Chains A and B, each alone.
Chain A
């Protein structure tokens, strides 16, 4: 009796797996008349990085309501929470590829989530455009990159370079230390910073690391303080970055060290949480300017009732714009309005995007040789939209004063 149950169970399981496998192999998405074009997102909607997810979703909704219909179909946006972790990225990827109606995906926010999701997403045939992954490894075919992945955020090779340039040329620093948290984004950016800092003639005293979840930073700060570096670059997230800023005032040897963080903690709640110790610290991060940006900010405010709580909303809107244009280009429309979208052709159309006139600038998604001898794939942005910011008293007093005005652009 028991054996038979077991047999039936395993057969059911086998059948389920076979069906799932078929689902994964569908390479043409068919959209019947009256059905929406389904775009998925994989963004953090919980935890410290949820401000990025919120900004991206808000921005995409603005674009969708402006576009109205595409080829006679509504645009539907649904998504999965990736948190800001490898596990979250993996889970979100599994759930996204299981939905055969999804045409393309906007995500992820965190490089760690994308690193974990890359293989699943690429094998599914879907096109993924990230608004804010910045880890250099993600678009390097020798490291993490796999077909189908694109991003509208800058590669951190650019951000690391401008942070190092600002530290040396504008702050007059000659020594620097860096702290990351082992995440592909933080480690990639810390390395890009230290490499460029050394290249520009500076000395890197230490590269240290903390764990996500640590609350006591005194021990790592003590290690850093032993050399009293001019600049401490820590491109990590909340809440670990808050602890570093707040506890740095206690550590002898860091009195004259300039604190410098990056877009990972350049979010509205950061300065009020880190407190008075954040006054005057620097951030590198995306800086978007121009008429399109002014219109975007006004539209976002009108639609969502607030300004974007974090950066990269513009990048999400541009990513979605590129995706929608590519869909428009490759979709075959039947007489009754049925759409047929070949996923492989969609990838090719996104890659062929040239000079897309977005909020963040002119974007082209083809291969680029960013480092001599290494051709990066999927980088749509080339790092023009970056700047350096400084925390002021108004922002510490209230997150409504975010973001502070840009201080410097390369």
Chain B
């Protein structure tokens, strides 16, 4: 009997493995087939692909900056702060008014770099204030509640913030003034590269490098990592857990605020109260993709998602003969997330979580 049972388990196991392998091969063939078809059609030049990849990196680095906020909070509190997209909106939406005022007064054309610094400070401050208030009012009273409770609260907080900002600033669209210096092209090896995309990418990298240094090299960072491992033991070791949690929200808010201004430089139009929703979803996807709770993972997940979303519809779907392929951009992002979760449930860089953490 024992033997047959083991055999049966063995068979079942191999069946699942087989199915997973079939899925893997299937996905690979579909992707390859689509890509080869598109490339063979010769519709696009090599420079087009490079331009798309760079645009994807720029878009992805904005996702990455927001994704870090999700990941940091998840790393410490093990819950998804669904209102983080609104933290991003708070910064971008507040500073657009400063930007408009500075442009009207003639300050902006004279001192563009100073203007950028002011916008960054305004945006980061407002996002941070919102993030900290969110933690203090909405999440801290529920810290020991079952995990579903703060999640639902976060969704409620998200709506609350959207409509508060709609009440404060109105429901119309606003536009950042154009930073003329950024809107040109660099001709590198016969290719036109948009300066603004390089700027967005580098600025985001800089922010992320700063975050990495804080977490890995400072005492606060060490405390954050300790709280992330085990809140109770960390408290016993003399770490002020509440303080660390607030700092985490501050850092997440600052990153989201900087993402707000960077988004305003890159895509100046369409600043309104609902602008945080879609990037919030994408950044959440990016955070899970990279391995939620993992900082380099969130960066990688964001960049990966950005590039895939920009290049994927053209490269894969058009080759498969799907009409209006670009409308399926979000579908591509979600399918990719599902595939990653099937084959690597912990995300690209995520480590396997211990039982009690998971």
A residues touching B (Cβ–Cβ < 8 Å)?
45-48, 50-51, 181-182, 207-211, 213-216, 218-220, 222-223, 226, 238-240, 242-243, 246-247, 250, 252, 269, 272-275
A238 surroundings in chain B (CB, below 8 A): 173, 270
- Taken together as a complex, chains A and B put the C-alpha atoms of A184 and B318 apart, in Å, by 23
> Do B270 and A210 touch across chains, with their CB atoms under 8 A apart?
no
Assess A246 versus B173: contact at CB under 8 Å? Given A46-B166, A219-B326.
no
B277 within 8 A of A: yes
Additional pairs, 11, CB under 8 Å, beyond known A207-B324, A211-B330: A208-B324, A209-B324, A210-B326, A216-B267, A219-B309, A219-B314, A238-B270, A242-B175, A252-B51, A272-B175, A273-B174
Contacting pair A216 B326 (CB below 8 A): no
Query: Judging by beta carbons under 8 Å apart, are A215 and B327 in contact?
Result: no
The reply to whether A219 and B327 form a contact with Cβ atoms under 8 Å apart is no
Q: CB-CB contacts of B39-70 with A at 8 A, as 1s and 0s? A: 00001100110011001000100000000000
Give the docked Cα–Cα distance between A264 and B299 (Å). 37
Q: Which residue on chain A has the smallest CB distance to residue B312?
A: A219
**Given the interface contacts A219-B52, A274-B269, does A269 sit within 8 Å of B173 by beta carbon?**
yes
In the bound complex, CA of A269 to CA of B272 (Å): 13
From B324, which residue of chain A is reached at the shortest CB distance?
Answer: A209
Q: Whose C-beta in chain B lies nearest to the C-beta of A217?
A: B326
The residue that B269 contacts in the complex, of A45, A243, A252, with Cβ under 8 A, is A243
For the complex of A and B, 9 pairs with smallest distance between CB atoms = A239-B270, A209-B327, A242-B269, A213-B278, A209-B324, A220-B326, A46-B171, A218-B55, A273-B175
Contact partners of B51 in chain A: CB under 8 A: 218, 222, 252
Write the residues of chain B forming the contact surface with A, with a CB cutoff of 8 angstroms: 43-44, 47-48, 51-52, 55, 59, 166, 171-175, 178, 185, 192, 194, 263, 267-270, 272, 274, 277-279, 309-311, 313-314, 318, 323-327, 329-330
Contact partner, B270, options A219, A222, A243, A250, Cβ 8 Å: A243
The distance in angstroms between the C-alpha atoms of A155 and B277, with both chains bound, is 33
A218 engages B173 (CB within 8 Å):
no
A239 neighbours in B (Cβ, 8 Å)? 173, 269-270, 272
Chain A proximity of B8: nearest CB distance (Å):
44
CA distance A223 to B313 in the complex (A): 10
Q: Which residues of B contact A274 (CB under 8 A)?
A: 269
29 contacts between A and B (CB under 8 A): A45-B171, A47-B272, A47-B274, A181-B327, A207-B324, A208-B324, A210-B326, A211-B329, A215-B278, A215-B279, A216-B309, A218-B51, A218-B310, A219-B52, A219-B314, A220-B326, A222-B48, A223-B313, A223-B325, A223-B326, A239-B269, A240-B270, A242-B175, A242-B269, A246-B268, A250-B185, A252-B51, A273-B175, A275-B269
A215 to B324, CA, bound (A): 17
B268 touches A216 (CB 8 A): no
